[in-house]
Amino acid sequence: MAGTPNKYTEEYRRETADYALASGKSVAQVARDLGLSQGTLNRWVLKRRRELGGQVSGSGDAPEVKELKRRVAELEMENEFLKKASAFFAKNQK
């Protein structure tokens, strides 16, 4: 699809992948919830896992480590949201 403009920004792709990773839901469920193609979201999630340095599949981590990684991803997503919210409210202060 050369020449076709990207429908989603990189920021949206990254935040959506972070949500999918942190939610504890399957990629298929998150894709349905957000009205996205499962294949599209899966590509975003795989790319994000590589960016975060995690293994794509078949991870041999103990359940505690998996839970901690999930929680870290969730907290990173919440932190990004709070940064944006504080910037928005600071900008609108008079």
Domain holding 40: CATH number? 1.10.10
The angle that helices 10-23 and 63-91 make with each other, rounded to 10 degrees, is 140
Give the total number of structural domains in the chain. Answer: 1
Residue 48 belongs to some domain of the structure: yes
Average pLDDT score over the chain? 83
Q: Is the pLDDT of residue 72 over 70?
A: yes
Residue 38 belongs to some domain of the structure: yes
Residue 43 belongs to some domain of the structure: yes
Q: Which residue has the higher pLDDT, 18 or 58?
A: 18
- What pLDDT, on the 0 to 100 scale, is given for residue 53? 81
Residue 4 belongs to some domain of the structure: no
> What range does the domain containing 25 cover?
10-91
Residue 31 belongs to some domain of the structure: yes
Question: What whole-number distance in Å separates Cα of residue 52 and Cα of residue 74?
Answer: 13
Confidence of residue 21 (pLDDT cuts 50, 70, 90): confident
